[in-house]
Amino acid sequence: MASDGPDKTEFLCRLGHEMKTVIASLSGALEVLRGRYRNKLGSVEKALFDVSEKDAMRLAKLANNLLDFAHKPTGAPPPVKSRRVVLKNSLDTSLAMLKYAFRERDMSSLEISLPRGLAVRADPEQLVQIFTNLIENAVKYTPPDRKIGVFAKRERSNVLVCVWDEGIGISAQNRRKIFKRFYRVNPAGSKGSGIGLSVVKWIIERQGGKIWVESRLGKGSKFYFTLTGEKKWRKS
């Protein structure tokens, strides 16, 4: 498996799909059990459910990243299934997924500013993954009492989106490397795989957009990305 040829791509694809199948089964079982025994769980049992659901969500994200990573430049990229996508719909899907992974933070409290009906031309599933990766990253590095938000606006033929936070921030040195594969700002203290932001960058660029970050240590970060705007959209 030292090469980046077809054998490696096929192996990673199969591994990613197998992981997603198992994770979906586990997540479904956890959801059923929590619902059935909701009023009978003590604090310890609730904590165990929280940890299990968070780990299942993290594994699901890793499986998605693995599938995308398998198709990165060395392999044949999967087709981009672009169509009109309303930003708010994708963001709502992402937040619904993340609320199980981060119960310590009220995901409904995020500051959202999206013009009603604002849409882009993109792959719907990959747009959800973009939001999920960026928001999860913000949550991991932002204390619960600090703010996280998302805003978007039309810029000529494009749509500009920003996922921002009031977290720990990123140094200038790390900002230059943060989109590289396997790079982690804090390898010793991070549970991430180091491919999340790399995958986000790859997805966005394959759909004709770009991504960049502005940040100050101790002041938070702003991840901006652009995608082609859909002509049929309504102002708020």
Residue 39: inside a domain = yes
Residue 215: CATH number of its domain? 3.30.565.10
Domain boundary among the residues 45, 70, 95 is at 70
**Are residues 163 and 131 part of one domain?**
yes
The answer to whether residue 75 sits within a structural domain is: no
Q: Could you tell me if 122 and 81 are in contact, meaning their C-beta atoms sit under 8 angstroms apart?
A: no
CA distance 215 to 226: 18
Q: What is the pLDDT along the chain (236 residues), one digit of tens a residue?
A: 344 455 566 666 667 766 776 777 777 778 888 788 878 888 888 877 777 877 777 677 777 767 766 656 554 455 667 899 999 999 998 887 777 656 666 666 789 999 989 999 998 888 988 998 899 889 888 988 899 999 999 998 999 999 999 999 999 888 888 888 666 666 445 555 566 788 889 889 988 999 999 999 999 999 999 999 987 554 44
Are residues 130 and 207 located together in one domain of the fold?
Answer: yes
| Residue with token string 């759909």 | 207
121 and 82 Cβ atoms separated by less than 8 Å: yes
Parent domain of 20: 6-70
| Phi, psi for 150 (deg, rounded to 5) | -140, 130
% of the chain surpassing 70 pLDDT? 72
The total number of structural domains that make up the chain: 2
pLDDT in tens, 124-151: 888 988 998 899 889 888 988 899 999 9
DSSP code per residue over 178-212: TTSTT--SSTTT--S-S-HHHHHHHHHHHTT-EEE
76 located within any domain? no
